[in-house]
């Protein structure tokens, strides 16, 4: 049996048919934007390996930080212990996130950080005398992860809620925010989506702990960029109805949208903020959930006082130093200029797709480029075709998209755009 045959027979891959897995290539090593396969083929990682490889693969500063920490303290339990990597990362996070978010919970992955956020909201409401507030409101077309509670607030259609009926918590859905980021914001609540949000909160607020959503960019649920004013007004409604506001910045954090956080496109601050994906520059799994004093003190002063969560690998030192190194790199490099450069190139080069017959829309925000087709695109066909062009692309649903590492050169960006345009022409 070849290694690849073993893989196909025994290993699950994400969202893949175990009996009929699509084209799969064996990656041997990677550096910068390049992934080298076992046959020597090199591919540009236009996905930043699922949106996390911010500074490119195998960044020497990050790998060195992990090496050094590995020789000192690879792990220690966080119950009753603290360590410099966790403290130094915490100090850095407080510098760059909204000022009201002063309390940090470290966890293993994005989905877990969403679980933690939702649990915080329910436990807070319980602690302050609202035990009935245990449900959530969210927008359609959202995505928050694959664990149960996170899944319950994913889009009911693309998240296949019918498949899990009876197993998923029932939540409240409002329409996708209807005004796109580049449209003029209409003040009429009947047009801008705020009327529907108000209606749900008016009717159900006594059962709702929090409003959870991805600020400005809906990722997996449709690669859609909406108007930040929606979030300013949602904040006011949440306050009016005693509902917490949770921002899931797992996809948008660390510069991807052109601001350090998507929250920075708004005038407000959430009560709880989830981060993951690019937190360690993609080098090791890690996530955080940050909250404000109000939520933390509410939980701390209530019953049972302790917050009921504590992963085995909480605040893993290797992950903490990787995250700290990645954030320092962001400081030291002109990431904003790079994102602007990428945004300009994507805008210029993807525009050609507008004239293709089956293209519904082309949109770019920061270092995210999307060609939306009028039909579903086969990820397998796209993967094989892009591989032949030396690019790693994995569309989902109707969207052929890229999220390149910030270090991607102009020539590499052109190769990515050529690949995307070919997929849009041929698939
Ligand atoms: C990827 C993602 C998650 C889930 O993160 P995992 O690390 O895959 O568990 C949650 N929310 C958003 C917005 C994401 O993009």
pLDDT by residue (tens digit) across 306-337? 999 999 999 999 999 999 999 999 999 999 99
Contacts of 19 (CB under 8 A, 6+ apart): none
pLDDT value of position 211: 98
Q: How far apart are CA 212 and CA 113, in angstroms?
A: 12
* pTM exceeding 0.85: yes
Q: How far is the CA of 118 from the centre of ligand 1 (A)?
A: 14
**Coil, strand or helix: which one is 264?**
helix
**3-state SS assignment for residue 379:** helix
Structure confidence at residue 165 (pLDDT): 86
List of residues 6+ apart from 143 with CB closer than 8 A: 154, 155, 158, 159, 214, 218, 219, 220, 221
pLDDT in tens, 213-255: 999 999 999 999 999 999 999 999 999 999 999 999 999 999 9
Poorest-pLDDT segment among 56-60, 159-163, 269-273, 376-380: 159-163
> Which of 41-45, 91-95, 160-164 has the least mean pLDDT?
160-164
- Which residues are annotated binding-site positions for pyridoxal 5'-phosphate? 110-111, 248, 311-312
- Ligand 1 pocket residue status of 149, Cβ below 6 Å: no
**CA distance linking residue 212 with residue 219, whole number of Å:** 14
Q: Which residue has the tokens 């998923």?
A: 168
Quote the mean pLDDT of the chain: 97
- Substitution site in 13, 52, 142, 143 for ligand 1 pocket (most atoms within 8 Å of beta carbon): 143
Domains within the chain, CATH numbers bracketed: 3-58+334-426 (3.90.1150.10), 64-331 (3.40.640.10)
**Residue 159 has what pLDDT?**
87
Tell me the C-alpha distance between 373 and 1, whole Å.
39
Residues 103, 247: Cα–Cα separation, whole Å: 15
pLDDT for 170 beyond 90: no
Phi and psi at 255, nearest 5°, equal: 95, -10
Token reading at 177: 């925010």
Mean pLDDT value of segment 396-401: 96
């Amino acid at each position: 049996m070849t290694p690849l045959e073993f893989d196909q027979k025994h290993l699950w891959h994400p969202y893949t048919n175990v009996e009929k897995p699509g084209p799969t290539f064996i990656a041997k090593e990677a550096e910068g934007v390049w992934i080298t396969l076992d046959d020597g083929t090199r591919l540009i990682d236009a996905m930043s390996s699922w949106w996390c490889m911010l500074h490119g693969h195998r960044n020497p500063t990050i790998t060195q930080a992990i090496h050094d920490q590995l020789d000192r303290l690879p792990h220690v339990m966080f119950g009753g212990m603290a360590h410099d990597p966790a403290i130094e990362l915490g100090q850095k996070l407080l510098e760059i996130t909204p000022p009201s978010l002063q309390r940090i919970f470290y966890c293993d992955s994005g989905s877990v950080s969403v679980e933690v956020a939702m649990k915080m909201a329910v436990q807070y409401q319980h602690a302050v005398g609202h035990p009935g507030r245990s449900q959530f409101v969210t927008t359609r077309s959202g995505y928050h992860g694959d664990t149960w509670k996170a899944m319950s607030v994913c889009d009911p259609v693309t998240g296949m809620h019918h498949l899990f009926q009876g197993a998923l918590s029932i939540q409240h859905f409002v329409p996708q925010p209807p005004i796109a980021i580049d449209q003029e914001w209409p003040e009429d609540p009947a047009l801008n989506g705020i009327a529907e949000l108000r209606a749900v909160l008016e009717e159900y607020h006594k059962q709702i702990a929090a409003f959870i959503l991805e600020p400005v960019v809906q990722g997996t649920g449709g690669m859609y960029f909406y108007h930040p004013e929606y979030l300013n007004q949602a904040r006011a409604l949440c306050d009016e109805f005693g509902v917490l506001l949770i921002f899931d910045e797992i996809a948008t954090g660390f510069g991807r949208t052109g601001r350090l956080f998507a929250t920075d496109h708004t005038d407000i601050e959430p009560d709880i903020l989830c981060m993951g994906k690019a937190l360690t520059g993609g080098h090791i799994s890690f996530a955080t959930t940050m909250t404000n004093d109000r939520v933390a003190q509410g939980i701390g002063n209530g019953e049972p006082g302790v917050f009921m969560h504590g992963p085995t690998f909480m605040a893993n030192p290797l992950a903490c130093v990787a995250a700290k190194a990645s954030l320092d790199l962001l400081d030291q490099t002109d990431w904003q200029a790079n994102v602007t450069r990428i945004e300009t190139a994507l805008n210029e080069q993807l525009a050609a797709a507008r004239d293709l017959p089956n293209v519904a829309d082309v949109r770019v925000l920061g270092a995210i480029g999307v060609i939306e087709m009028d039909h579903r695109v086969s990820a397998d066909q796209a993967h094989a075709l892009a591989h032949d062009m030396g690019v790693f692309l994995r569309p989902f649903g109707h969207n052929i998209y890229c999220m390149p590492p910030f270090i991607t050169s102009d020539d590499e960006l052109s190769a990515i755009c050529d690949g995307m345009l070919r997929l849009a022409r041929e698939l």
